[in-house]
Amino acid sequence: MATAVQTPEEAKGIRGRGSSALLTTALIFPAGLWYVLLLVAPLIIVTIFSFGNRAKNGGYEAAFTFDNYVRLLTQTQRMEPFFTSLWMAVAGTIGCLLVGLPLAYFIATRTTRHKGLFILLLVIPFWTSFLIRTYAWLIVLGRENVGGFIGSLIGDADFRILGTPAAVLVGLVYGYLPLMVFPLYVTLERMDRTLVEASKDLGAGRWATFRQITLPIALPGLITGSILVFIPMMGEYVIPQILGYGRTFLVGNALVDAFVQTRNWPFGSAMAVLLILVMLITITFYVWFVNRGRHGREVSVL
Amino acid sequence: MADNLDDILRRAADTKVPRRSFLAAAGLLGGSAALAACSTGSTGGATTAPAASGAASAGASAGTDASASPAGDVEKQLFMYNWSDYTSPKNIDAFKAKFGVEKFQYDTYANNEELLAKLQAGASGYDIAAPTAEYVPSMVEGGYIQKLDWSRIPNQKYINAAFKGLAWDPNDEYQLPKDFGTTGILYRSKVVKEPVTTWQEFYDLIVGKYSGKTVFVDSMGDIFVMPLKMLGKSINSVEPADLDAARDILLKLAPHILALDSDTYQDKLASEEAVLCLGWTGPIVELRENPDTADIAYSVPTDGTLFWLDTWVMLNDAPNPNAAYAFLNFIHEPEVQAEETNFNGYGTPNDEAKKFIDPEILNDPVFFPPEDAMANLEGAVDTSSNEQRIDIWQEFKSAIGG
């Protein structure tokens, strides 16, 4: 495990390879360019836009005003999508965790040959378009299949899953599950199995072993995975549109409305900035929460 | 189940892009084969139309040379930017033959925003385009399109007066009406036996017998039509009192709505999950072709509704202005225009052309609203900047889920 403090020898070694600094720069350059052009620059533009006015025919007009933020923060109907998104993303992340952790553990404890097979099975759905897979859920959850089946069980002919938050949740968990499984798998795969045996030898039960051995080891993967699924879920647009029948109104949908239907780019930008802030705060709180009392433990976030 | 999915995919691939649907239009999913297929126009017409994209810029530089030829001479080429399957390939061939045009480039966009974005990005290399009239004012303001010389489009005399002097182009300087259509009520006539000729009747059915079986298109401008017309107001009203009353109606409707959906509402109608729909005419022809869904019916509410109008415009930097004028006049020849309607299934504003249109189409409210409804049609002006409307719209959307 790498320590934060470099030994003098290590530091000297890096300086000694100064001639390769140019090569390092050259190799980092594409990623750096990507980062600046596609992340930093758009963020700056969005932030600038969020202080502007809507042009007469829609779009952006330069200005410096806080109106967009004031409207956003003071009107309940504007804030509602944020709250809906927040609880959907939290529920979706928990869902991914409940499904993903046992799955990752299962795959990580197979023999090498089988591991490859299971990982492949997990990846294969990605060969099909996300949209097509989401459409497929329309059929699976539809009234002729799962939806109708549950309806007949509880004796309600009008029972529906599609068009409810439950359908959106199923879609979210399905769509982002692999992003949760892979980081968990990577951490669990490196786990020393003898630790589990030692725990059992020392008299710990299954739950105690899981809580004191497996979970702490899986924690870095768990944090990474949670963040990887939480962020896109917060901005999700397609799943609520298709499986939620447009009835579950998330921030992503509100953003599309702002940019396409009302063509109010500055207001949409303000929403986007607020969304980023909400995510930052949530994730910071989350990382702090799972790490509290674990000073000194190395945690890789991304 | 496999049949089912197959069916959906086939339909997705065959369907014309819903004219104002964002999901399909933006292609924001990049990898989706089905959507990519339909946005480049996979339905027959485009395969015969010279729709190879990408050659536009190359053509544009060649076009500059052509425009140096004496005024009045029709250039050998024309670059058109249009919705997919919106101009008959037969007419294109006839135009090429008549005017000796060798290269007719037909590129497509999936929504007005895409067209606007291309123009905003600078020289497009196109001669003509067909935006929805609502977008013409911003195109004028941006300086992207030029005034038309009507002396060079004599056939404009056939255009019905109802489509002239509209708010989008009050002095008829920039736009030549192309096709129009309405927002109205789609319903499954084998289920819905009650009359749905007015918005009030529609409202009573939604909150009553067919609660939870109605789908609305996800479009602010279209949804406001219903409450405002029930109140006897203009669809474009921005009077706070009118909008407050409209809000009450919308919030009463909200719990009874099955879905807000501009992309797959035809599927919900086909499966009878929804039997009523506030929507557009686009999917009707296709639903009729299937015997199971042939009972789909369309009603243009007699108490008034919205009509949209697509218009021909000429771009400011049109490299082939003479060919463009030749085409704009040619396309409004009555017989040519009739072929357009027969091909694309949208109503023509050209009165003379109606003589050559299949009577079945002519009497079909999907294409041509009946006289009583026609009199109450109203063009939508851009009210998307009205804060009160936006607030109500957001509230309505949240209320539907809750």
Provide φ and ψ at A173, rounded to 5°. -65, -45
Asked if residue B160 and residue B58 are part of one domain, the reply reads yes
The answer to whether residue B45 sits within a structural domain is no
Amino acid at B314: M
Asked if residue B25 and residue B173 are part of one domain, the reply reads no
Taking only residues 18 to 37 of chain B, the set having a beta carbon closer than 8 angstroms to any beta carbon of chain A reads 22-23, 26, 28-29, 31-35
Strands B128-129 and B77-82 come out as parallel
Asked if B261 reaches chain A (Cβ–Cβ under 8 Å), the answer is yes
Contact B100, B76 (CB under 8 A): yes
ipTM of the complex: 0.77
Q: Do A131 and B35 lie within an 8 Å CB cutoff?
A: yes
Asked if residue B169 and residue B28 are part of one domain, the reply reads no
Asked if residue B133 and residue B240 are part of one domain, the reply reads no
Euclidean distance between CA atoms B185 and B391, whole angstroms: 25
Residue B132's domain spans which residues? 50-179+309-367
Asked if residue B189 and residue B162 are part of one domain, the reply reads no
Asked if residue B175 and residue B146 are part of one domain, the reply reads yes
- Residues of chain A positioned with their CB less than 8 A from the CB of B4: 139, 144
Q: What is the percentage of chain B residues whose pLDDT exceeds 90?
A: 55
Q: Which residues pair with B176 in a beta bridge?
A: B312
Strands B128-129 and B145-146 come out as unpaired
Q: First vs last Cα of chain B: how many Å apart?
A: 31
Q: B131: which residues sit within 8 A by CB, 6+ positions away?
A: B112, B115, B116, B139, B310, B311, B313
The answer to whether residue B136 sits within a structural domain is yes
Q: Which long-range contacts (CB under 8 A, 24 or more apart) does B33-36 make?
A: B33/A129, B33/A132, B34/A129, B34/A131, B34/A132, B34/B9, B35/A131
Q: Which run of H or of E encompasses B64?
A: helix B56-66
Asked if residue B290 and residue B336 are part of one domain, the reply reads no
Compute the average pLDDT of residues A44-61: 87
3-state SS, residue B180: strand
- The CATH class of the A35-291 domain is mainly alpha
Asked if residue B160 and residue B71 are part of one domain, the reply reads yes
- Residues of chain B positioned with their CB less than 8 A from the CB of A78: 391, 394
The answer to whether residue B139 sits within a structural domain is yes
Asked if residue B68 and residue B144 are part of one domain, the reply reads yes
- Of A58-62, A145-149, A181-185, which one has max mean pLDDT? A181-185
pLDDT mean across residues, chain A: 86
Nearest residue, CB atoms, A77 vs list B8, B32, B391: B391
CA–CA min distance B358, chain A (Å): 36
- In sign, the C-alpha dihedral spanning A46, A51, A54, A60 is negative
Tens of pLDDT, residue by residue over A110-161, are: 888 888 899 899 888 888 898 899 999 999 998 888 888 898 888 887 788 9
The pLDDT score that the predictor gives to residue B383 is 81
Q: Which residues of B294-312 are buried (b: 16+ CB within 10 A; e: fewer)?
A: eebbbbbbbbbbbbbbbbb
Asked if residue B118 and residue B152 are part of one domain, the reply reads yes
Question: Domain locations in chain A?
Answer: 35-291
DSSP state of A287: H
The answer to whether residue B21 sits within a structural domain is yes
- Residues of chain B positioned with their CB less than 8 A from the CB of A138: 8, 264, 267
Residue B56 has pLDDT above 80, yes or no: no
Q: Which run of H or of E encompasses B22?
A: helix B22-26
Reading the block at residue B205, the tokens are 């059915």
pLDDT band at A284 (very low <50, low <70, confident <90, very high): very high
Tens of pLDDT, residue by residue over B107-119, are: 998 778 788 878 8
Asked if residue B33 and residue B65 are part of one domain, the reply reads no
CA–CA min distance A295, chain B (Å): 42
Number of domains forming the structure of chain B: 3
- Residues of chain B positioned with their CB less than 8 A from the CB of A248: 401
pLDDT band at B9 (very low <50, low <70, confident <90, very high): low
Asked if residue B220 and residue B166 are part of one domain, the reply reads no
Tens of pLDDT, residue by residue over B129-160, are: 999 998 898 899 889 999 999 999 999 999 99
Q: What is the percentage of chain A residues whose pLDDT exceeds 90?
A: 49
Strands B145-146 and B305-315 come out as antiparallel
Nearest to B184 by CA among B299, B345, B303, B308: B299
The answer to whether residue B44 sits within a structural domain is no
